[in-house]
């Protein structure tokens, strides 16, 4: 293996460590102190030496990254700042606990070579000790570059021999790597200037070329190169540099060189050199063969592939009609379904061509044909195009910052950096989805929008969920989303998403492309090979079997003299063989990239000057085409065939080249880089990129994709055991977010096994704490959560771990579990213990959580007033901690406490406060739900129904079927309570149709039965009741309240069937149950007890036995009156009215009043 000068520098330094104080290397002189000297090499892989002894590798990627960051950022730093930087997606205290663990690992590694003193830390701060001697190559680079003399700049550039921290792929590392690449480019450019001043023009040219190699997209470097070459009288070379500049600018930015560069080129052409000659008018360069622009080549490529659209007139008419609807503001989704080669893409291209005269804005995104593609890839593609074409929205709008997390062009083009991620990836997903909806509204504000998403059967589940979430919004916008798919390969998620779109009336049409007739195929064959004889044409038509793509390829093969009955792969061998180096490289690279390649990427791979010709040749062979600066295969089948022709060794090499290219591209698609590094066999670096990609996916709420990426990283035979343990734990966390308990258990078990093997008690305790949180929150297994937390606490205590933050987290977690379903005394003791941990005192987020837990405990104790106050306090603390999500949760909790006190006006007030805080948050939906409930409860039926519908609409934008089902359940409850029985039945049934719905299914069956019986559908109601035992029902769903509710419905059915005795028996049983819950065994003492499901406040989670008793009494009064028991009827009616008065509930008052009046009159 070749060693570069930087390697020499390291090995030289190591070899000389015992004998001298200065090491002189070829072209590099580095001062060294032999005693108490830390030397850090950040260029290349991170290497640390203490007095010449190499520090062993730190276990874990994150600790290594922390050390590199501390070395790159001299001075002391607040622990909270460093923790938030490296663990942004968790609670502050949890991040601090992780930082403590990482610092412990760093100190241990430094200590093995006697360098522990270099890590300086106390309770609040951390940094590399200032007073001890150290040399960090990046600091040395900066120092040398600032000296601004030839020798120093040369030395600086020798140091920057390799990419910064090549073995890490954290975001900060990638940013720093880009920064040092820029710095190296600037140093080379400055060195070139100094060489020129010294009269060393050859040297100046050489360093200018180096500057371009570091930063290939800076026009001024090309201009300097042209000038210096001209001074050397090398005009041909200078003009070649101009052509490279022009090709680069066209490929990268779609622009032409600036006027000053063009003027210089004109002077060179006219033989005036770079001297003081006469200025000439700028004019565009001649488009010669050598200098043809990709765009110009594209027009030739497009001409060569022009082909008529055959046999798709009716489909095009349908599409055009959908577009007309969208133009009028009634957008939606159109699916084009069909097998490969039937012309789905061709049809969308025709639509774009047809409507382009009407001035729409168009954008095309393609799902990657690549395993483990980044989440939202096709959407990122589309949004990048839109953002580039649309002015920035007002600074007042917050959504661009959310959108920037998916599409970095938002930062570059609109100057809006990405918002910091919160601790709740679910919420991040909602914000992201909402931001995409807002972006589409913004981009369609001045003209209609036509979006094309190709091959969505290949799309990641997050992209598919996003499509589903947009459905309803699209129907209100001038936006048509056309998506192509192969039905045979459609994943289950896509089928569900299509169903969702259909339910939302957002699916405008689903066009199924069939096979073409022989006559139509004959037209296809003739259009591309008119020279073929009739027999050859017939043969081409016959082998195509109705597929226009195959007909075209068969015709081209026949035209080449090949047998049309060959396979597609045979047909493309001849055209591939005709391609020269750059064109073949381009075709192979596009085949392996798995998505359209933008021209900038292609230029970086094959050279900007070679690109136009390569593209022209590949286009001439009908392999590649270019559209809107995106190079792609004419068809996916052709891509597959070309990909299959690449030899394994060349394939690995190409993947490595593509990875290198992508690493230097703006935006750095980390998931793609990981994929290509994997295919290139570079597993160590692939693992680092997979981890970064997984973290990004998780932070965007793309859990399926994150799980896939973590799994893959964990399964690689790379990285230390500690890294693998970190990966298994991260995977366990993601599985918890996905609600996959079994998979969480498996991943956690793997992590534990590894951590026990490496005997890392601190990490093991942290692992159990993480498991406790997962089981307590997302997975909702309080019993197992309790055991996990207890195990964490046991390890902390028996191993005497110095882990105060972790202890506080564990103790608070235990407190929460006790609050939810255990011993309230113990809960309060635990919460108090968590609060007194000094390291936890500064964490307002934890303080807010503890406060909220205490509020929940008070509610459980039946003290809603105190609970409301604690909830308000928790909201205040959460706001101060910057935890808007937690603040909203606390306010919703306060609303629940108010509802429990019967203060429904206050519920409405709190709900409005939540809604005003951040419209896209999940808690804002909860606030809408609370509003609908409170309005229904207070008899404001029309407003309640309007609020319920707003709630359903808002949740529909999440694309989350389980949440949508819960919203349907809540809306159905409002419908039932406001007398919309048919609507209620439909919505309960819709909620029950979703198996993952987050609501009590048993209660939904009971309430559906009630809606049906009140609508007169007795048989259907009875059948629903029969299903109740087969639905899950647990303690948190207040199962004891289900029985009397069920008995009320049984009573209604029996009464409607004329079985009065049975009906009265059921109602009496229900009445007795509610009375028991109220603690009042007899009539006349109505109470105000309220049961609250802590997991689901306040809608659907609140049961008011007094109200329920009133409902039963009202029904009983009616029935008694019907059977002639007037006195009993009157007594029941009187008590029902008394309850209604006391509880402020009007739901049955009118009915009972009407009933009571004649009874009273009779008396």
Partner 1 sequence: MPSFEESVICRAPPLEVWKLLHDPARVPEWYSGVAHATTTPDGAILYLGDREEDAYPVRIAPESERSRVLIRCLITDDLYTWSLEPHPDGCLVRVRVDVAAEPVDERRDGVLASLPKLAAAAERSGVGG
Residues 451-480 that bind partner 1 (CB under 8 A): none
Round to whole Å and give the CA distance between 332 and 317. 16
The full DSSP string for 1042-1094 is HHHHHHHHHHHHHHHTT-HHHHHHHHHHHHHHHHHHHT--STT------EE-T
Round to whole Å and give the CA distance between 94 and 83. 9
Pick the binder of partner 1 from 76, 1036, 1088, 1153 (CB under 8 A).
1036
Closest separation in Å from C-beta 1002 to partner 1: 9
Q: Which of 765, 769, 773 is nearest to 796 (CA)?
A: 765
Residues 1014-1033 that bind partner 1 (CB under 8 A): 1025-1026, 1028-1033
Closest separation in Å from C-beta 1062 to partner 1: 4
C-alpha pair distances (Å), 1155 with each of 11, 937, 941, 1085, 1148 = 99, 22, 22, 22, 11
Round to whole Å and give the CA distance between 339 and 1053. 52
Pick the binder of partner 1 from 352, 950, 1043, 1080 (CB under 8 A).
1043
Residue 804, helix vs strand vs coil: helix
Asked whether the beta carbons of 574 and 560 are under 8 A apart, the reply is: yes
Q: 590: part of which helix (H) or strand (E)?
A: helix 581-593
| Binding string, residues 860-899; x marks residues near partner 1 by CB under 8 A | xxx-------------------------------------
Residues 226-265 that bind partner 1 (CB under 8 A): none
| Binding string, residues 846-865; x marks residues near partner 1 by CB under 8 A | --------------xxx---
C-alpha pair distances (Å), 84 with each of 23, 91, 98, 583 = 40, 9, 10, 47
Closest separation in Å from C-beta 1078 to partner 1: 11
Indicate the residue among 56 and 1034 with the shorter CB distance to partner 1: 1034
Pick the piece of the chain touching partner 1 (CB under 8 A) from 345-353, 556-564, 567-575, 781-789.
781-789
Pick the binder of partner 1 from 1047, 1108, 1115, 1134 (CB under 8 A).
1047
Round to whole Å and give the CA distance between 13 and 23. 6
H-assigned helices in 171-293: 171-197, 201-214, 219-231, 235-253, 259-269
**Cβ within 8 Å of residue 615, ≥6 positions away:** 294, 297, 298, 301, 583, 586, 602, 624, 626, 631
Closest separation in Å from C-beta 943 to partner 1: 33
Closest separation in Å from C-beta 367 to partner 1: 33
Closest separation in Å from C-beta 948 to partner 1: 27
Closest separation in Å from C-beta 1124 to partner 1: 18
Asked whether the beta carbons of 1098 and 896 are under 8 A apart, the reply is: yes
Indicate the residue among 821 and 1153 with the shorter CB distance to partner 1: 821
Asked whether the beta carbons of 483 and 453 are under 8 A apart, the reply is: yes
Indicate the residue among 307 and 1062 with the shorter CB distance to partner 1: 1062
Indicate the residue among 863 and 1151 with the shorter CB distance to partner 1: 863
Asked whether the beta carbons of 917 and 436 are under 8 A apart, the reply is: no
Asked whether the beta carbons of 404 and 410 are under 8 A apart, the reply is: yes
How many CB atoms are closer than 10 A to CB 660? 16
Asked whether the beta carbons of 116 and 38 are under 8 A apart, the reply is: no
How many CB atoms are closer than 10 A to CB 837? 19
| Binding string, residues 637-666; x marks residues near partner 1 by CB under 8 A | ------------------------------
Pick the binder of partner 1 from 128, 908, 1038, 1119 (CB under 8 A).
1038
Pick the binder of partner 1 from 514, 1016, 1034, 1158 (CB under 8 A).
1034
Closest separation in Å from C-beta 429 to partner 1: 23
The full DSSP string for 245-267 is HHHHHHHHHS----HHHHHHHHH
Pairing state between β 125-128 and 119-121: antiparallel
Q: How many Å is the maximal CA-CA distance in the chain?
A: 121
Round to whole Å and give the CA distance between 235 and 242. 10
Indicate the residue among 258 and 1069 with the shorter CB distance to partner 1: 1069
Residues 1054-1073 that bind partner 1 (CB under 8 A): 1054, 1059, 1061-1066, 1072-1073
Q: Which residue has the tokens 């079927």?
A: 961
Indicate the residue among 527 and 821 with the shorter CB distance to partner 1: 821
Pick the piece of the chain touching partner 1 (CB under 8 A) from 142-150, 402-410, 759-767, 1039-1047.
1039-1047
Query: Cα dihedral sign for 45, 50, 52, 53?
Result: negative
Pick the binder of partner 1 from 1046, 1103, 1133, 1152 (CB under 8 A).
1046
Q: How many residues bind partner 1 (CB under 8 A)?
A: 40
Round to whole Å and give the CA distance between 1086 and 1083. 7
Closest separation in Å from C-beta 988 to partner 1: 17
Q: At what angle do helices 581-593 and 599-606 cross, to 10 degrees?
A: 130
Pick the binder of partner 1 from 1039, 1085, 1150, 1157 (CB under 8 A).
1039
Closest separation in Å from C-beta 831 to partner 1: 16
825 scored as a contact of partner 1 (CB under 8 A): no
The full DSSP string for 498-561 is HHHHHHTT-EEEEEEP-PPPHHHHHHHHHHH-TTS-HHHHHHHHHHHTT-HHHHHHHHHHHHTT
C-alpha pair distances (Å), 629 with each of 157, 603, 618 = 35, 11, 15
Closest separation in Å from C-beta 764 to partner 1: 25
Closest separation in Å from C-beta 969 to partner 1: 16
Closest separation in Å from C-beta 1033 to partner 1: 7
Closest separation in Å from C-beta 1034 to partner 1: 4
Closest separation in Å from C-beta 825 to partner 1: 11
Residues 1069-1128 that bind partner 1 (CB under 8 A): 1072-1073, 1076-1077, 1091
Pick the piece of the chain touching partner 1 (CB under 8 A) from 108-116, 778-786, 799-807, 950-958.
778-786
Pick the binder of partner 1 from 287, 783, 841, 1144 (CB under 8 A).
783
**Which tokens in the block code for residue 838?**
């000094």
Closest separation in Å from C-beta 336 to partner 1: 39
- Beta strands (DSSP E) in 417-475 are 449-454
Indicate the residue among 821 and 842 with the shorter CB distance to partner 1: 821
Indicate the residue among 543 and 1038 with the shorter CB distance to partner 1: 1038
Round to whole Å and give the CA distance between 22 and 40. 16
Round to whole Å and give the CA distance between 22 and 9. 12
Closest separation in Å from C-beta 781 to partner 1: 7
Q: Which of 197, 986, 239, 506 is nearest to 498 (CA)?
A: 506
Residues 804-823 that bind partner 1 (CB under 8 A): 821
1040 scored as a contact of partner 1 (CB under 8 A): yes
129 scored as a contact of partner 1 (CB under 8 A): no
Indicate the residue among 851 and 1025 with the shorter CB distance to partner 1: 1025
| Binding string, residues 661-700; x marks residues near partner 1 by CB under 8 A | ----------------------------------------
Binding site for partner 1 (CB under 8 A): 780-783, 821, 824, 860-862, 1025-1026, 1028-1036, 1038-1040, 1042-1043, 1046-1047, 1054, 1059, 1061-1066, 1072-1073, 1076-1077, 1091
């Amino acid at each position: 293996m070749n060693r570069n000068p930087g390697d020499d520098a390291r090995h030289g330094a190591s070899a000389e460590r015992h004998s001298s104080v200065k090491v002189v290397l070829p072209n590099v002189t580095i001062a060294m102190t032999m005693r108490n000297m830390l030397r850090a090499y950040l260029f290349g892989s991170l290497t640390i030496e203490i007095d010449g002894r190499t520090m062993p590798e730190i276990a874990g990627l994150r600790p290594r990254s922390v050390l590199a960051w501390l070395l790159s950022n001299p001075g002391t730093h607040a622990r909270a700042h460093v923790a938030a930087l490296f663990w942004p997606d968790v609670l502050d205290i949890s991040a601090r606990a992780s930082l403590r663990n990482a610092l412990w690992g760093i100190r241990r590694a430094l200590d093995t070579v006697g360098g522990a003193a270099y890590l300086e830390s106390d309770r609040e701060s951390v940094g590399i000790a200032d007073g001890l001697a150290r040399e960090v190559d990046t600091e040395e680079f900066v120092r040398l570059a600032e000296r601004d003399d030839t020798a120093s700049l040369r030395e600086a550039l020798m140091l920057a021999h390799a990419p910064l921290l090549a073995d890490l792929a954290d975001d900060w590392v990638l940013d720093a790597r880009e920064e040092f690449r820029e710095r190296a480019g600037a140093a080379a450019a400055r060195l070139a200037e100094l060489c020129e001043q010294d009269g060393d023009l050859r040297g100046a040219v050489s360093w200018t070329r180096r500057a371009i190699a570091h930063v290939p997209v800076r026009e001024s470097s090309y201009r300097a190169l042209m000038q210096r070459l001209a001074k050397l009288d090398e005009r041909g070379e200078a003009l070649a540099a101009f052509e490279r500049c022009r090709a680069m600018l066209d490929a990268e930015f779609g622009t032409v060189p600036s006027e000053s560069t063009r003027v210089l080129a004109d002077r060179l052409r006219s033989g005036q050199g770079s001297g003081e000659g006469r200025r000439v008018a700028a004019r565009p360069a001649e488009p010669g063969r050598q200098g043809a622009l990709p765009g110009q080549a594209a027009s030739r490529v497009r001409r060569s592939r022009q082909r008529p659209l055959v046999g798709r007139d009716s489909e095009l008419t349908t599409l055009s009609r959908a577009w007309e609807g969208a133009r009028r503001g009634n957008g939606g989704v159109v699916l084009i379904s069909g097998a490969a080669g039937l012309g789905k893409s061709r049809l969308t291209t025709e639509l774009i061509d047809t409507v382009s005269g009407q001035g729409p804005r168009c954008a095309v995104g393609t799902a990657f044909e690549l395993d483990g593609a980044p989440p939202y890839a096709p959407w990122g593609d589309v949004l990048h195009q839109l953002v580039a074409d649309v002015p920035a929205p007002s600074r007042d709008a917050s959504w661009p910052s959310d959108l920037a997390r998916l599409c970095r062009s938002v930062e570059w083009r609109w100057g809006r950096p990405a918002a910091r991620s919160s601790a709740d990836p679910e919420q991040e997903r909602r914000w992201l989805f909402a931001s995409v909806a807002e972006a589409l509204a913004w981009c369609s504000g001045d003209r209609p929008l036509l979006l094309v998403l190709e091959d969505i059967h290949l799309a990641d589940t997050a992209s598919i969920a996003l499509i589903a979430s947009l459905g309803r919004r699209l129907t209100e916008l001038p936006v048509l989303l056309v998506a192509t798919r192969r039905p045979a390969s459609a994943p289950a998620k896509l089928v569900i998403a299509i169903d969702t779109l259909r339910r939302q009336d957002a699916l405008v049409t689903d066009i199924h492309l069939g096979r073409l007739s022989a006559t139509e195929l004959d037209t296809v064959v003739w259009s591309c090979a008119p020279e073929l004889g009739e027999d050859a044409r017939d043969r081409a038509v016959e082998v195509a079997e109705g597929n226009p793509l195959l007909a075209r390829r068969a015709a081209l093969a026949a035209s080449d003299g090949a047998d049309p009955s060959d396979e597609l792969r045979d047909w493309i061998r001849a055209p591939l063989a005709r391609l020269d180096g750059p064109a073949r490289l381009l075709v192979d690279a596009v085949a392996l990239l798995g998505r359209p390649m933008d021209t900038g990427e292609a230029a970086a791979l094959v050279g900007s000057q070679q690109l136009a010709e390569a593209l022209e040749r590949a286009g001439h062979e009908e392999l590649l085409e270019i559209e809107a600066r995106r190079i792609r295969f004419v068809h996916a089948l052709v891509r597959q065939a070309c990909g299959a022709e690449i030899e394994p060794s060349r394939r690995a090499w190409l993947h490595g080249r593509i990875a290198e290219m992508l690493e230097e591209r703006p935006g750095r698609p980390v998931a793609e880089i990981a994929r290509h590094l994997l295919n290139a066999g570079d597993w160590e670096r692939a693992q680092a990129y997979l981890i970064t990609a997984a973290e990004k996916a998780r932070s965007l709420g793309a859990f399926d994709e994150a799980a896939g990426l973590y799994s893959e990283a964990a399964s690689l035979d790379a990285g230390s055991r500690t890294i693998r343990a970190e990966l298994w734990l991260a995977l366990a966390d993601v599985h918890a977010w996905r609600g996959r308990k079994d998979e969480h258990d498996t991943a956690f078990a793997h992590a534990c096994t590894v951590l026990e093997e490496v005997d890392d008690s601190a990490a093991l305790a942290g692992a159990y704490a993480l498991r406790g949180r997962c089981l307590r929150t997302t997975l909702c297994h309080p019993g197992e959560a309790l055991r996990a937390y207890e195990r964490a606490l046991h390890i902390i205590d028996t191993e005497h771990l110095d882990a105060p933050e972790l202890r506080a987290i564990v103790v608070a977690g235990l407190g929460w579990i006790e609050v939810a379903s255990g011993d309230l005394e113990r809960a309060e003791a635990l919460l108090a213990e968590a609060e007194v941990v000094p390291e936890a005192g500064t964490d307002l987020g934890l303080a807010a959580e503890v406060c909220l837990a205490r509020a929940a405990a008070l509610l459980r104790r039946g003290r809603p007033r105190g609970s409301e106050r604690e909830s308000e306090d928790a909201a205040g603390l959460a706001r101060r901690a910057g935890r808007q999500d937690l603040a909203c949760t606390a306010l919703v909790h306060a609303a629940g406490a108010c509802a429990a006190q019967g203060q429904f006006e206050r519920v409405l007030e709190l709900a409005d406060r939540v809604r005003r805080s951040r419209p896209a948050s999940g808690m804002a939906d909860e606030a809408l739900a609370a509003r609908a409930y409170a309005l229904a409860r207070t008899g404001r039926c029309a407003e309640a129904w309007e609020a319920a519908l707003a709630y359903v609409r808002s949740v529909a934008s999440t694309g989350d079927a389980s949440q949508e089902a819960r919203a349907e359940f809540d809306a159905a409850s409002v419908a039932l309570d406001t007398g919309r029985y048919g609507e209620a039945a439909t919505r309960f049934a819709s909620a029950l149709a979703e198996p993952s719905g987050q609501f009590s299914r048993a209660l939904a069956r009971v309430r559906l039965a009630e809606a049906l019986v009140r609508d007169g559908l007795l048989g259907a109601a009875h059948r629903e009741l029969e299903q109740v035992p087969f639905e899950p029902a647990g303690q948190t769903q207040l199962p004891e309240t289900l029985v009397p509710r069920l008995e009320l419905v049984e009573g209604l059915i029996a009464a409607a069937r004329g079985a009065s005795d049975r009906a009265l028996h059921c109602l009496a049983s229900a009445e007795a149950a509610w009375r028991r819950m109220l603690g009042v065994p007899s009539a006349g003492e109505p109470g105000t007890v309220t049961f609250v499901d802590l997991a689901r406040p306040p809608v659907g989670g609140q049961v008011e036995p007094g109200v329920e008793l009133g409902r039963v009494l009202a029904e009983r009064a009616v029935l008694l009156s019907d059977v002639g028991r007037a006195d009993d009827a009157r007594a029941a009616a009187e008590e029902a009215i008394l309850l209604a008065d006391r509880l402020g509930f009007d739901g049955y008052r009118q009915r009972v009043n009407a009933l009571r009046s004649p009874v009273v009159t009779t008396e």
